[in-house]
Amino acid sequence: MNSILKIRHWNIGTSIIIASVLLSILACPANARQSDREMPPKLGPPPSMHLPEIQHFTLSNGLKVALMEKHNVPLVQAELVVWCGSVNDPPGKSGLASMSAAMMEEGAGLRSSLELADAIDFLGADISAFAGNHTSGVVMHTPLSKLDSALALFADMSLRPTFPAEELERNRKERLTTLMEWRDEPRAIASVIYSRTLYGTDHPYGVPSMGNEQSVRSLTVEDLKDFHKTYFHPNNGFIVVSGDVTQEQIMPRLEKLFGDWSKEDVRIPTLPAARQVEARKIYLVDKPGAAQSVIRIGRIGAARMTKDYFPLLVMNTILGGSFTSRLNHNIREVHGYSYGAGSGFDFRPTPGPFTAAADVQTNVTDKALTEFMNELKGILQPVSDEELTRAKNYLALRYPESFQTVSQLSGQLSDLNVYGLPDDYFNTYVGNILAVTKEDVQRVAKQYIDPDKIAIIVVGDRKLIESGISALNLGPIENLSVDDVLGKAPEPSN
């Protein structure tokens, strides 16, 4: 009976609410209702952001530490970042930095691989190693209550990895399997040929950081130990910490664990200058039976520390850096050729690639290329006030999202130190974005995007798409097979 009464009361209340809403709608003039539908609410000014002070201190051995406190949750993240990565791979040993990082998780200190994983899981922590183009290191995320135990494991993995031979063999087999799987992945094929086309095999950016069959098979335990011994030193890296700790709490802990780490002379390699794409050319990789065509278009872009960084962010947001960008609107929304299209600059210590990309339906590959070219040419013209404002608001309003968690804070602090940015960079970011003008956008578009000097990579079913692409007269076409890109399929590993 009570449940029936409750239902009846809910129905009576709901009827009153519905009647009130209908009366209010009927009372509104028709033109007012139409106006409400057509005019979205105006955005307010982007909020200013004021983060806690970045604290800097140095351990007795010279290891630099940066700390940003965040006390609303009992979590701590720490990252050791060392200046070494795939750019440090010796000739014939591509994949060494990547394999070294993977193997740092396979045993450290007195613990085997399984014992190390169990110890980390028991704490409810996450400790892992990484390797990029220019940096490698170890990341720790832990509840505050387990900080001491987690830091001990963090130090073991950073300073005392054991590189057990049996785990190397297991990782080697996994990588060879991955290299075999790449042959069935058009995106992986496109990524390999795209990097090679832009940078060549003599530049580290032009070689897969995971290595190839020959290099992966050649890696030894001694290679891994030598790589770690060569580059992992306190004068060749730094630590960043974020979370529910103070300098007084974290400094003695780090000193105890890392203070005896010895300095060594470290030679940092000088990368060869990359040659810009000199003419428009199409590289068509045949993948018979491919359900889609994978398109990658681009050229060498800009380094992270370019003075044009903020104008480039705004310009690319308009071109292909957001859901409402020109590329996505054209290729996805207007024509329906793809689920999504976009573009971006991969900012690195030296100029990384600028890439425009989409995976499109096979039967519209040529039409999609036409629209890509239209947008790459169109961005060279002055942008509208509306587009400029929308792009700047998009970047400014989204920026605070990058600082919500201790993991995000740690990542931002790491980038700050990698690129030597000033401590007030985070708090001045929005102002720098809002200062970008239409003239800035057009200037950097003309400087960094040249539709006549780009590499066009297409991975798809050649017999279905070649004639349409050829009819566009975009440039010479070089036909390639999967073997041309990835080499012969790896032999099965015992």
Quick one: pLDDT at residue 49?
Answer: 72
pTM over 0.75: yes
Written as tens digits, the pLDDT of the chain (494 aa) is: 444 333 333 343 434 333 343 334 334 444 444 445 566 666 666 666 778 899 999 999 999 999 999 999 999 999 999 999 999 999 999 999 999 999 999 999 999 999 999 999 999 999 999 999 999 999 999 999 999 999 999 999 999 999 999 999 999 999 999 999 999 999 999 999 999 999 999 999 999 999 999 999 999 999 999 999 999 999 999 999 999 999 999 999 999 999 999 999 998 888 989 999 999 999 999 999 999 999 999 999 999 999 999 999 999 999 999 999 999 999 999 999 999 999 999 999 999 999 999 999 999 999 999 999 999 999 999 999 999 999 999 999 999 999 999 999 999 999 999 999 999 999 999 999 999 999 999 999 999 999 999 999 999 999 999 999 999 999 999 999 999 999 988 766 55
**Of 194, 223, 258, the domain-final residue:** 258
- d(C-alpha 418, C-alpha 136), whole Å: 11
CB contact set of 142 (below 8 Å; sequence gap of 6+):
75, 76, 77, 123, 124, 125, 126, 127, 150, 151
Provide the number of structural domains found in the chain.
2
Quick one: pLDDT at residue 268?
Answer: 84
**Is 227 within a domain?**
yes
Query: In this structure, are 328 and 253 located in the same domain?
Result: no
Query: In this structure, are 254 and 285 located in the same domain?
Result: no
Token reading at 478: 């070089």
Whether the CB-CB separation of 239 and 254 falls below 8 Å is answered with yes
Quick one: pLDDT at residue 290?
Answer: 94
Query: In this structure, are 287 and 378 located in the same domain?
Result: yes
**Of 226, 258, 290, the domain-final residue:** 258
Range of the domain at 89: 55-258
Whether the CB-CB separation of 237 and 39 falls below 8 Å is answered with no
**Is 41 within a domain?**
no
**Of 196, 225, 258, the domain-final residue:** 258
- d(C-alpha 280, C-alpha 477), whole Å: 10
CATH code of the domain covering residue 249: 3.30.830.10
CA distances from 283 to 189, 344, 460, 479, 480 (A): 12, 20, 11, 6, 7
Query: In this structure, are 166 and 306 located in the same domain?
Result: no
CB contact set of 93 (below 8 Å; sequence gap of 6+):
211, 215, 218, 219, 223
Beta strands in 178-336 (DSSP E): 237-243, 281-286, 292-300
**Is 42 within a domain?**
no
Query: In this structure, are 454 and 400 located in the same domain?
Result: yes
**Is 95 within a domain?**
yes
